[in-house]
Copies of this chain bind each other. A is one copy, B any other.
Amino acid sequence: MDERREQLIAVALELFSRRPPEEVSIDDIAAAAGASRPLVYHYFPGKQALYEESLRRAGRELAGRFEEPADGPLSERLYRVMGRYLDFVQSHGPGFAALLRGGSVAASAGTSAVIDEVRRAAHDQILSHLAVPSPSPGLRLTVRAWIANAEITSLEWLGERSVPLEELQLHLVQEFVAALTLTAAREPALAAELAGFFAAERPDGPTGRLVRELAALFADPGIAGAVAALVVKPVH
């Protein structure tokens, strides 16, 4: 491993995390690294190559943050992962936001490959924690759609910061629990898994809090009455 090359990538990642690629020049990177312009070009053919290499580095770091021991209630594991994910979004997101939104001039086959790999790592981690023997296409789709939800929600949050980060972290986990429940409502094979999952949850955790919030909502007489009318199957 060439240390000088590694240092250039680290410096580039730092700059590309804070500003969009069009606002970072090779001169900026050279200056921040205490290196000459020709030295940067000795290691990298140009800015795009350095951008892609630093994105790859960021992708590996992010995928590493998804790793979590298979201990304790599922929603609490996901809550911890989301804390690390949102911390990453805060520190690296501003520069990569345009890329993830699909509006970056630096988008390429190389950058899409990195993004796809991170999404796949997230998907595989979640399925490994769910530990469902053979995940159905419907369950896989639920997981992928929730990952897209987490991405878009955290990117929007980065622009507005309209709720505290801890709330976003909790809401994303609760949305996952809801999405999983909806999938189990459609797929009888998943219902038994869901029972095991709920049985391991704690009243203080994200799922416990969600259940009580929903119980309070459905205790509202207006909502309770309307929902009760829907529970009765229509006779044709």
Query: Contact residues of A with B, CB < 8 Å?
Result: 99-103, 105, 107, 109, 112, 115-116, 137-138, 141, 144-146, 148-149, 151-153, 156-157, 160, 162-163, 171, 174-175, 178-179, 181-182, 184-186, 191-192, 194-196, 198-199, 201-204, 207-208, 210-217, 220, 222-223, 225-227, 229-234
Q: Which residues of B contact A141 (CB under 8 A)?
A: 153, 156-157, 162
State whether B185 touches A213 (Cβ < 8 A). yes
Q: Please, which residue of chain B has its CB at the minimum distance from the CB of A209?
A: B230
Q: Which residues of B contact A207 (CB under 8 A)?
A: 230
State whether A145 touches B137 (Cβ < 8 A). no
Q: Which residues of B contact A152 (CB under 8 A)?
A: 144-145, 148
Kindly state the separation between the CA atoms of A181 and B218 in the bound complex, as whole angstroms. Answer: 10
Q: Which residues of B contact A100 (CB under 8 A)?
A: 102
Q: Please, which residue of chain B has its CB at the minimum distance from the CB of A175?
A: B182
Q: Which residues of B contact A213 (CB under 8 A)?
A: 185-186
State whether B137 touches A216 (Cβ < 8 A). no
State whether B160 touches A137 (Cβ < 8 A). yes
Q: Please, which residue of chain B has its CB at the minimum distance from the CB of A108?
A: B105
Kindly state the separation between the CA atoms of A8 and B225 in the bound complex, as whole angstroms. Answer: 56
Given contacts A215-B231, A216-B185, A226-B199, contact A112 B116 (CB under 8 A): no
State whether B175 touches A199 (Cβ < 8 A). no
Kindly state the separation between the CA atoms of A201 and B227 in the bound complex, as whole angstroms. Answer: 9
CB distance from A220 to the nearest CB of B (A): 6
Kindly state the separation between the CA atoms of A101 and B111 in the bound complex, as whole angstroms. Answer: 12
State whether A195 touches B220 (Cβ < 8 A). yes
**CB-contact partner of A179 in B151, B175, B233, under 8 A:** B175
Given contacts A149-B145, A163-B137, A217-B185, contact A195 B210 (CB under 8 A): no
Smallest CB-CB A-B distances: 9 pairs: A195-B222, A103-B112, A198-B226, A137-B162, A148-B152, A185-B213, A102-B102, A199-B226, A203-B234
State whether B102 touches A115 (Cβ < 8 A). yes
Kindly state the separation between the CA atoms of A227 and B141 in the bound complex, as whole angstroms. Answer: 25
CB distance from A118 to the nearest CB of B (A): 12
Q: Please, which residue of chain B has its CB at the minimum distance from the CB of A138?
A: B163
